[in-house]
């Protein structure tokens, strides 16, 4: 039994010696690393923010007025201060943007409310001259690639039931839908 023990000890010593770092031969080993990025079909809005899971594309602030006897103009200002919604769509799509009726629409017009029965109707346009009105829920075709989609607003005296509504802060929220 003593001979077997010596033979096993010698074998273990030889194995330990052959596994030591100095006993390895120099060499190289090569391998491959896969790298991938998937571009999905879609569109993005570049000047908006996200608050509580809701996309915020900007605000139109008409300012402060004592009455509605004159035309009042407003312009959408995005989260980054630009006066347009910045939309980027990749190729192969037919993107559209539509603007809803808002929370207080009456007689086919978008309207702002201060919480009471009185509303202040307003109109949205796609051009600075305010001649191309953006109809409620009517898709507007967008180009492929990056583009600015300006939104202009106007309060017209002729649309009002009263040009001297009660004092207050009148507001509305319009749902904008980008589809492709």
**CATH code of 103's domain:** 2.60.40.1090
pLDDT at 13 over 70: no
Is residue 45 in a domain?
no
Residue 1: pLDDT band (50, 70, 90) is: low
Which one has a higher pLDDT value, 179 or 47?
179
pLDDT of residue 78: 79
Predicted pLDDT of residue 20: 52
Q: Which two tokens stand for residue 157?
A: 């005296």
Residue 29 is assigned to a structural domain of this protein:
no
**Which residue has tokens 């005296």?**
157
Evaluate whether residue 175 is within a structural domain: yes
Task: Please check whether residue 131 lies inside any domain of the structure.
Answer: yes
Number of domains in the chain: 1
Q: Is residue 21 part of a domain?
A: no
DSSP string, the chain: -HHHHHHHHHHHHHHHHHHSGGGSPP------------PPS-EEESS-EEETTEEE--EE-----S-SSS-EEEEEE-TTS-SSEEEEE-TT---EEEE---SS-BTTBEEEESSSS-EEEEEEESSTTS-SB--TT--EE--SEEEEE--EEEE-GGG-S-SSPPSS--B----EEEE-
User: Which residues, 6+ apart, have CB-to-CB distance to 106 below 8 Å?
Assistant: 119, 121
Domain assignment present for 49: no
67-171-137 Cα angle (round to 5): 115
Closest CA to 63 of 73, 51, 50, 78: 73
Top mean pLDDT of 20-34, 119-133, 139-153 is at 119-133
Percent of the chain whose predicted confidence (pLDDT) is above 70 = 86
Q: Say whether pLDDT at 18 is over 80.
A: no
Has residue 72 been placed in a domain?
A: yes
- Asked if residue 160 belongs to a domain, the reply is yes
* Domain of 66, in residue numbers: 57-179
Decide if pLDDT at 7 tops 50.
no
């Amino acid at each position: 039994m003593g001979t077997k023990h010596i033979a096993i000890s010698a074998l273990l010593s030889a194995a330990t010696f052959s596994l030591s770092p100095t006993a390895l031969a120099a060499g190289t080993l090569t391998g491959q690393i896969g790298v991938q990025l998937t571009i999905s079909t879609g569109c993005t809005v570049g000047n908006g923010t996200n608050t509580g899971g809701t996309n915020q594309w900007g605000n139109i602030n008409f300012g402060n007025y004592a009455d509605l006897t004159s035309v009042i103009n407003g312009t959408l200002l995005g989260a980054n201060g630009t006066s347009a919604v910045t939309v980027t769509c990749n190729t192969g799509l037919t993107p559209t943007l539509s603007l809803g009726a808002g929370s207080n629409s009456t007689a086919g017009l978008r309207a702002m409310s201060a919480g009471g029965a009185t509303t202040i109707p307003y109109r949205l346009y796609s051009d600075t001259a305010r001649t191309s009105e953006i109809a409620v829920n009517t898709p507007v075709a967008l180009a492929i690639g990056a583009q600015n989609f300006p939104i202009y607003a106007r309060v017209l005296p002729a649309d009002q039931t009263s040009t001297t509504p009660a004092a207050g802060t009148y507001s509305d929220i319009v749902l904008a839908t980008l589809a492709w």
